[in-house]
Structure 1
Amino acid sequence: MKAHQTFGMHFPKLGRWLKSAAMLVCLAPALLSAEKPNIIIFLADDLGYGDLGCYGHPIIKTPNIDALASEGVRLTDCHSGGTVCSPSRSSLLTGRTPYRVGFYTIAGPERSHLSSKEVTLAKLLKDDGYDTCFVGKWHLGKFKNQPDPGDHGFDHWFATEVNAFDGPESPAKFIRNGEPVGEVSQWYCDAIVKEASDWMAKRPDPSKPFFLVVSYHEPHTPVHPPEKYSKMYDNDLVNKLETEVAYGEVHRPLNKSIVENKKYYYGTVTQLDDSLGTMMKAVEKLGKDENTMVVFTSDNGPETPVTVQESANQWEDNSRDRSFGTPGHWRGMKRYVYEGGHRVPGIVRLPGKVEAGSVSTQLVNGTDWLPTVCHLAGVEVPSDRTIDGTNIMPALKGTAVEREIPACWMFPVGYDYRYLPSMAMRDGNYSMIGWFEPKRGEQGNSEWVKSTKLNRFALYDLSVDRSQANELSKHRPEDFERLKKKMIALWTNIQEEAPDWKNQ
């Protein structure tokens, strides 16, 4: 008979204590591994799928983001929740398709904002004991008379309502926890990374897990990096290599300068990369790098260059002449529901759970971050509303994920690009495209969103047709009809929940 069994027979309480102690010793490694992870989400603005070295860009140097990819998983089928800023940001925080939340375009029209009725990832984590922080571009409503980051679960926030400007020469005006900070004499990416680093270092209880969103302005227009970055790309080799870059089947106008303008965009992406490197060093210095999930992604595809298809005076300020982002080989750019408008870089570093240097080809959408982080943190996903996303932990390991609700994207209302389709939906490698009626020129409000119908469709197989040039309705009629019905049902469901801002 074993010693602890003998003790247990004669001294029952002591025996039970020894048994419990032995169980705790055995469970110690599991308890330690169950420590809630810190979460950092880096969100770039208008960064294209093909804009990073680790995604194949022949020119732009991004050593810090590339290093992040080498330490985690690089996603090749990652998507933002929308095709422009505000819709994507709402999806990331709520796990819901933007039109359910009321973002039919960027925040502002018809008083649209992130309603107090929405439950955000920050709120869920805060209620579970996380410290929460938001730094950077909010773009989900006005800070006066509409819910701000603090109202949506962020303990600490340092933000601008919309974009920054041209760096220190024309600095952004930040608000910190509801109080104006005034003009900050730093480049935007440097200012928000400093704020985030300081917040991490000064938390009253560093043992608590934290959730941090670093929401960049870069490389959104206006594009004006420090000279040391633009000079890196001012040479003949860059001029030669630029001719090899694809722009999503969107052609640049012949009367716009390429030689003089491209260096600014390339330099801005490298500037963003440096700031991420600074942030990761701060995480490592605090000893948090081994228990921190780091996500790097973008809010939509790259900004569209001004072309002859658009109004001649719509962009007369030339703000987009320096936009040289690329979706790689995918068709479309920002605003487009073709793949290039929402397929974006996606990198996840999570030591012990995600294999370093791995690549996943599984579909990941912007709506997925909320349920995935909740799963990791052991937090319940809201059950009183539709959550479009799903836990994509299996996808981060290369395994297929079953989706109850298909991933979908809508073109933002208020833009008169009548030649572009209105909605996209993914089903495996199939991309179903649909057009709303009446014509987009007649749209612009909640009433239109809640009444318009899908009346034209196109089907593409992305596994063999990245440029979405070969429409398949006649070649695969059964799949076409099946997905047409599925898209109509999905859109009808979204319309029913979409808020009417005029009556809010």
Structure 2
Amino acid sequence: MTILPKLTSALFVASCVALSAADRPNVIIIYGDDVGYGDVGAYGSKMIPTPNIDKMVSEGLMFTDGHCSAATCTPSRFSMLTGIHGFRNGVRILPPNAPLCIPQDKITLPKLFKKAGYNTAVIGKWHLGIGAKGTPVDWNGDVKPGPLEIGFDYSFLLPSTNDRVPCVYVVNHRVRNLDPKDPLYVTRKYESPNEKSTRYPDGKTNREAMTYYQSSHGHNQSVINGIGRIGYQWGGKSALWDDETMADEFVNQTKEYIAKQKGKEEPFFLYFASQDIHVPRAPHPRFQGKTELGYRGDAMVAFDWATGEIMKALKENGMEENTIVIFSSDNGPVYDDGYKDGTTVLTSTKESDRGHDGSGIYRGGKYQIYEGGTRVPFIVKWPAKIKPGKSDAMMNQIDFLASFAALLDVKLGDDEAIDSRNMLPALLGKDPKGLPYMLEEAGILALRHGDWKYIQPRKNKKGPGKPQLYDLSKDPGESKNIATDNPDKVKELQEILEQLKKSKVGVRNEKISS
């Protein structure tokens, strides 16, 4: 069996110069929602114009083998913020009213930055749960624990997802613009807990109420703004968001936050989590019709605009030179995901959406263990330190925490961020190889080891399925399973995957040996 090297912060010491307090960069993560590798012009998109993201590529470092840790949103966000794989904590896509899934006693990205003297903020989609386990969230009082309890100084949230209730913004611990005379509740059944609360149509019995567009499957409980949602909401009418102005709201909040940081001695860390291009896609009318791909393509144009506005705000406030901006996504693309919004349904046979494939040349997308599920746009810009270019280094968002710990000279304990490895040299363009191996997650696990990819068998009603093995150097589209022809390689990678999966010390501390 191949002996896999253990990565340590010594790589950073050898290749980088420690930063003084005055040189600490601001850091912004611009995080798309369901944005695939092929949804960006620089990554091959021909039908969606993304001039602002493409400009960031031309001025920064573009990774061609950059990944989120899972093919679904909640596990990816969890692992990026904690440095721990979601499967270790049983993290899956969360329902409405789910409690906070990040343990408050764990190190997180915002806590790391706070240790280094940063102001921290999150603006946009959360979907990591709010409230304590076993205790219903009080949407009419203090909505917590949430982002502030895991290290953020300020939060402006879409609390779950835009296709789930409650359809309100939460600022720090309070629902914005909530009228106490119209109390807000979230339930699983269509039973009002308070006669005073606004009653919204039930999409299951009143499909006519879905006037924006109809649901194709699910998404047919409370109908709000003419759109069916997952879960039932009661009350909170004065606090409802406007789906078509959501991108503008997040951008305006971000501009205000950046402007307030100007002139301060402390740097800032901002996690900007866009709702685009997640369903229900409701781009502002000024973006509608900008592509031939329906609302999905138009929403991507809106996300590109948002990216450009953030970059413009940095420049206007004199912060562009010493700000690290990372652009990426939580998982690969999905098309018909619950609404009849004009997006063509895709299948696993690589049909194209009117000539556009959000996964590019890669197989699969959201929910799937193939490369299209986790290989996403991955761009890093830092004018003061990073030379523009392209890198084929294998990278993963789960390694942000250890990498920034190295940059900021914050020591991690062996029991902290156990799956996060210091990849700062690769982030800075100084290491062309990146990770020697990594885990990928989509219900089952896969192991990338260089160009080899092993996918564990998926259990079904007939019993265990077959293992899959691909050589991405020859077959990037994962079209031919070569497991039968390579039993020794399958055995080797299967043993490595199982050891990492069962590890109590995590990927960073695990010693893989023959």
What TM-score do you get using the length of structure 2 for normalisation?
0.73
Return the match for 2:57 from 69, 84, 95: 69
Structure 1 match to 2:277: 219
Pair member with larger Rg: 1
Alignment of 1:159-174 (within 5 A): 159-164=157-162, 172-174=167-169
The residue type equivalent to 1:152 in the other structure is: I
Structure 1 match to 2:305: 274
Tell me how far apart the structure 1 counterparts of residues 271 and 252 of structure 2 sit (CA, whole Å): 13
Structure 2 match to 1:179: 174
Structure 2 match to 1:318: 340
Alignment of 1:138-157 (within 5 A): 138-143=126-131, 144=137, 147-157=145-155
Tell me how far apart the structure 2 counterparts of residues 373 and 430 of structure 1 sit (CA, whole Å): 28
- Note the C-alpha offset of 1:115: 1.8
Tell me how far apart the structure 1 counterparts of residues 495 and 471 of structure 2 sit (CA, whole Å): 18
The residue type equivalent to 1:467 in the other structure is: G
Secondary structure of the residue that 2:431 maps to in structure 1? Answer: coil
More helix by share: 1
Do the aligned partners of residues 96 and 340 (structure 1) sit closer, same or farther apart at CA in structure 2, a change above 3 Å counting? same
Runs of 4+ that moved beyond 6 A: 29-34, 494-497
Secondary structure of the residue that 1:190 maps to in structure 2? Answer: helix
- Note the C-alpha offset of 1:391: 2.0
Tell me how far apart the structure 2 counterparts of residues 375 and 31 of structure 1 sit (CA, whole Å): 10
Alignment of 1:59-458 (within 5 A): 59-106=47-94, 113-143=101-131, 144=137, 147-164=145-162, 172-181=167-176, 182-185=239-242, 187-203=245-261, 206-234=264-292, 262-305=293-336, 315=338, 317-318=339-340, 321=343, 326-356=358-388, 358-385=389-416, 387-396=418-427, 397=429, 399-400=431-432, 403=435, 406-412=437-443, 422-437=444-459, 439=460, 456-458=466-468
Tell me how far apart the structure 2 counterparts of residues 81 and 284 of structure 1 sit (CA, whole Å): 31
Secondary structure of the residue that 1:362 maps to in structure 2? Answer: strand
The residue type equivalent to 1:163 in the other structure is: T
Do the aligned partners of residues 154 and 107 (structure 1) sit closer, same or farther apart at CA in structure 2, a change above 3 Å counting? farther
The residue type equivalent to 2:287 in the other structure is: Y
Amino-acid identity (%): 32
Do the aligned partners of residues 113 and 392 (structure 1) sit closer, same or farther apart at CA in structure 2, a change above 3 Å counting? same
Deviations 1:55-100 (A, max 9, x none): 1101111111111111111110011121111101011111111112
Structure 1 match to 2:486: 476
The residue type equivalent to 2:173 in the other structure is: G
The residue type equivalent to 2:240 in the other structure is: E
Q: Does the 8 Å CA contact 2:261/2:268 hold for their aligned counterparts?
A: no
Q: Does the 8 Å CA contact 2:290/2:301 hold for their aligned counterparts?
A: no
Gaps of 5+ in 2: 1-16, 132-136, 138-142, 177-238, 346-352, 508-514
- Note the C-alpha offset of 1:407: 1.5
Deviations 1:391-422 (A, max 9, x none): 22222316245658x4212224xxxxxxxxx2
- Note the C-alpha offset of 1:436: 4.3
Query: What RMSD in Å do the two structures reach over aligned CA positions?
Result: 3.0
Secondary structure of the residue that 2:62 maps to in structure 1? Answer: strand
Tell me how far apart the structure 2 counterparts of residues 280 and 380 of structure 1 sit (CA, whole Å): 31
Do the aligned partners of residues 467 and 227 (structure 1) sit closer, same or farther apart at CA in structure 2, a change above 3 Å counting? same
Tell me how far apart the structure 2 counterparts of residues 264 and 400 of structure 1 sit (CA, whole Å): 37
Structure 2 match to 1:25: none
The residue type equivalent to 2:305 in the other structure is: D
- Note the C-alpha offset of 1:496: 10
